[in-house]
Amino acid sequence: MEAITRGFFLFLSKNSTLNKIAQKRGGSFAAGKIIGGTNFQSSIHFIRELNKQGLSVTVDHLGEFVDSVEVANERTEECIQTIEMISKENLDSQVSVKMTSLGLDIDRNLVVENMTRILDTAEKHHIMVTIDMEDVPRCQATIDLFKQFREKYTCVSTVLQAYLYRTEQDLKDLSSLKPFLRLVKGAYKEPADVAFPDKKDVDENYKKLIEQSLFNGNYTAIATHDDAMINYTKELVKKHNIPNDQFEFQMLYGMRTKTQLELVKEGYKFRVYVPYGMDWYGYFMRRLAERPANISFAFKGMVKS
């Protein structure tokens, strides 16, 4: 049943007709519930409210697989402006960005040029920029770009996905860079020859990655809504005396807000992933595909007053 549910929402995420309808009619409905707003300016209010509750934030301008140089350059300018506004408004926020939104599918030199401009701005303002991981065909290119940028910049991090067989080796390869890593289970539909098809295997690999990353001394973000993974991390850090300033928990905006605040009260660093922009529909469908329990969390959030 879980596989069927996952496939259904991944199918919906690629429906261009529904995406266009969502862009035209759904932005105001989703704002403040599952996205911050349709642009960064309209998201600032919600970020401030999260910060007041002790929650840190990372923001992401939704939209990927850009095939236009003009659009890639526009996304770059928007990201630079966002970083500058975060600094100006003194927000406790980082930035997440997909390499395909900056031109990865167009030209490698283009994405390097655009990301260099972003990271120059991030270093100036001491704001972390996370390179989001995408689907398998773009995985190696994303890791190669991270390695290249990490040689020059400190304010850059990336994401590893537990459902891929390759990730354990990727983590070993990256650990010499002492990276800031966000660990996730993974949201794309991948074939069984590159990804674990069974949830239990993904869960076991996720635990292995959490342990390996923390034992290597990496700053590690455990991005999950799964209580079992959260409790596993709590027990692991307690058993091995790993300080709370070496890791953080992350969840999506609008989902499990009570749990987020409870973890903050327990003394854990917590960061909320706050997307914004008009292209929210595909993002939302993939989040529902990740874990069936997200469906109830999301719809409770969307109907709250």
CATH number, domain with residue 70: 3.20.20.220
Mean pLDDT of 102-115: 97
| Range with lowest mean pLDDT among 102-106, 126-130, 131-135, 252-256 | 252-256
Q: How confident is the model at residue 193 (pLDDT cuts 50, 70, 90)?
A: very high
The per-residue pLDDT for 2 is 53
Q: What range does the domain containing 97 cover?
A: 2-303
Model confidence, pTM = 0.88
Q: Please say whether the beta carbons of 9 and 273 come within 8 A.
A: no
Residue 39, classified by CB atoms within 10 Å of its CB into exposed (0-12), middle (13-18) or buried (19+), is middle
For residues 270-280, give the mean pLDDT: 89
According to the model, what pLDDT value does residue 301 have? 47
**Whole-number Cα distances in Å, 84 to 81, 91, 110, 165, 304:** 5, 11, 22, 38, 32
Report pLDDT digits (tens) over 240-264.
999 999 999 999 998 899 999 999 9
Residue 219 to residue 258: CA distance in whole angstroms: 25
- Res. 228 pLDDT band, cuts 50 70 90: very high
Other CB atoms within a 10 A radius of the CB of residue 4 amount to 7
The pLDDT of residue 305:
34
In contact, 127 and 81? CB cutoff 8 Å: no
C-alpha to C-alpha distances, 10 to 5, 147, 302, nearest whole angstrom: 9, 30, 20
Tokens (6 digits) for 218: 């990496």
Is a pLDDT exceeding 90 seen at residue 63? Answer: no
Q: Write the CB contacts of 17 (distance below 8 Å, at least 6 apart in sequence).
A: none
Say if residue 240 is exposed, middle or buried (CB neighbours under 10 Å; 0-12, 13-18, 19+).
exposed
On the question of pLDDT at 227 being above 50, the answer is yes
Q: What is the DSSP letter of 245?
A: G
Q: Is it the case that residue 136 has pLDDT exceeding 60?
A: yes
What is the average pLDDT across 64-87? 95
How many domains does one find in the chain?
A: 1
Could you tell me which residue, 254 or 228, shows the higher pLDDT? Answer: 228
Q: Which residues are catalytic?
A: 132, 182
Tens of pLDDT, residue by residue over 155-180, are 999 999 999 999 999 999 999 999 99
- Is pLDDT at 8 greater than 70 in this prediction? no
**Alpha-carbon distances, residue 26 vs 11, 60, 300, 304 (angstroms):** 19, 18, 16, 16
Q: What is the C-alpha to C-alpha distance for residues 176 and 252, in angstroms, rounded to an integer?
A: 29
